[in-house]
Amino acid sequence: MAITLRSKLLATLDTVQMPTKVEMRQGAPNKNAHPRQKVTYEEGRSLRYRRENCGRRIMKAVKALAPAALFAVFFCAGAGAEDSKTSGPAQPPGVPAKEFEAKAGYCETCHGLSARGFIGTNPMPRLAGQQPGYIKNQLQAFIDRRRLNPVMGNVAHVLSPAMVDFLSTHFKDLDPPPYGGAPKDLMSEGEKIYHEGVPSAEVPACETCHGQDAYGMDQFPRLAGQLDGYVIAKLTNWSKERGQDPNNPDNSQVMGPIAEKLTKEQIAAVAAYVSDLK
């Protein structure tokens, strides 16, 4: 059974084609996508993009074989039940329903109902629809003090890995409407910067990492629907809060020099644009 599954997987992976240079620069065809300009210096990112894009295709192939793999697990488990009663694999740790509900409710205290975000003196970010990989990375960054925030540092310290997994999935599945409310007159300029960048300042298009729809990808965060006040505050103070351990860098290192090159007006424009996206 295992050999058969392995053969099927290898056969499926043989069909996975690496993207061409044109695909890497332009992405999949999308008649509704905003027209983009090629940014020459993004060539340096192409290898990372190739690997991540290929990785997603491989995961699709693996998921396609998941039912057969699951059947194999149960088949083998049943066949050897008598021999493995005392030496079977440990069950993964779970999170009691009441404990999870209490923690999710606690998160909403600051991040708003349905994790929509909260507009106040200090805007609290929207977590709804956020990439699980990004949430996990940032929680660990708070623990490691790579990202500074005294409140979140204490919150992250007490979360178990299982709870982090549950919460990350929970937030990803939420989809409340964005607050909006950002200045409409800034959105046109923000849209241009998001999709085309600022070539004169060597600022790449935001969509390069955050996607054409601003839904994010893996450890690159979703920006669609994020509070404009929060985006402005983070980009303005990036170097004071993020990437605080140069010996342990993460994705925040990518945004550091970009945030420094953006003017206050450009930051406000991009923030207004993404805040209105659904």
In the predicted structure, residue 34 carries a pLDDT above the cut 60: no
- pLDDT one-digit tens code per residue, 182-192: 999 999 999 99
Question: Average pLDDT of 13-41?
Answer: 45
Q: Cα(5)–Cα(71) distance, rounded to whole angstroms?
A: 11
Give the model's confidence band at 53: pLDDT under 50 very low, under 70 low, under 90 confident, else very high. low
- pLDDT one-digit tens code per residue, 115-134: 999 998 899 999 999 999 99
In the predicted structure, residue 233 carries a pLDDT above the cut 90: yes
Q: Cα(262)–Cα(265) distance, rounded to whole angstroms?
A: 8
In angstroms and rounded to an integer, the radius of gyration of the C-alpha atoms of the chain is 22
216 contacts 207 by C-beta, under 8 angstroms: no
Structure tokens at 7: 């053969």
184-275 placed in CATH 1.10.760.10: yes
Q: Cα(144)–Cα(159) distance, rounded to whole angstroms?
A: 14
Average confidence score pLDDT of the chain: 77
What secondary structure does DSSP assign to the chain, as a single string? -HHHHHHHHHHHHTTPPPPPHHHHHH-S--TTSPP----GGGGGGHHHHHHHHHHHHHHHHHHHTHHHHHHHHHHHHHHTGGG-TTTPPPPPP---HHHHHHHHHHHHHHH-GGG--B-SSSPBPP-TT--HHHHHHHHHHHHHTSS--HHHHHHHHT--HHHHHHHHHHHHT--PPP---S-GGGHHHHHHHHHH-BGGGTB--THHHH-TTS--BTTBPP-TT--HHHHHHHHHTHHHHS---TTS--THHHHHHHHHHS-HHHHHHHHHHHHT--
25 contacts 50 by C-beta, under 8 angstroms: no
The domain spans of the chain are: 2-75, 97-172, 184-275
Fold match flag (97-172 vs 184-275): yes
In the predicted structure, residue 76 carries a pLDDT above the cut 50: no
CATH superfamily of 97-172: Cytochrome c-like domain (1.10.760.10)
* 80/7: higher pLDDT: 7
Question: Average pLDDT of 87-106?
Answer: 73
pLDDT at res. 243: 87
